[in-house]
Amino acid sequence: MVRYADPGALEWVESGGGPLIAVPETVLPFWAGADGEETASDYDRACEVDGFVGLLPVGDSAALVLGDEPASTAFLPEHATFIRWWAANSEAELLAGVPAALATANWGHEVRWEVPGTVVLFDSAWPGSETERTDCLRVGLEPGRYAVRAANVQPGPETWLGLVQLRRVEHG
C-alpha cells in the first residue's frame, strides 16, 4: 500500500480508496467489509454515506464512516478529533495547523453516536475480524453518547485538513 503520510509522531491509517470506518471493538466480527453474500456489502453501504461523516448499524451498535475522499487519518486524543491529511508538506506542518483549524472550522451537521467503548479505525473494505492484517488504529473512548461533527479547513496556504471531532454528551 502506498503511504502518503510521513512516518512521524502519529499513527496514520489509510484506505485502498474507499472510506475509513470506526467500528466499536465489541462488534468488529459483524462488519463483513467487501465480503459477504448480500447484494450490497457493508463496504457498499459505507460508500453510500453522503458527506463527511455518517453512521451505519453494525451488530447492536453503530459504526462511524469517515466519508468524502479517502485520506490518511490519525486521532488526536487531546482534541478528541480525527484529523485527515488532505495536503501538507510534512506531518509537523499539518499538526501546527490543527489549533487554527479547530478555532476557525465551519462545522457541518452533527450526528449522535453511541459507543460501548474502544473503536477500531480501518479501511471499510476489510472485514472487522481481519483488522490485524491491515492498517488499523484502536481509539480508546469512554462508553457513552458523542456528538460528532466534521469540517474541512485550510489553516495555511499549502495546508488542508479534515476534522472529525467527538464531543461527549449526556443522555437526555
- Residue-level pLDDT at 171: 67
86 phi, psi to nearest 5 deg:
-85, -50
Rounded to the nearest integer, the mean pLDDT of the chain is: 91
CA 25 to chain centre: 14
**Which uninterrupted H or E stretch holds 43?**
helix 42-47
Structure pTM?
0.91
pLDDT digits (tens, 9 = 90+) for 19-43: 999 999 999 999 999 986 667 899 9
Taking the CB of residue 8, how many other CB atoms lie within 10 A of it? 13
Pairwise CA distance, residues 25 & 89, whole Å: 33
User: Per-residue pLDDT for 1 more than 50?
Assistant: no
Q: Are strands 136-139 and 61-66 parallel, antiparallel or unpaired?
A: unpaired
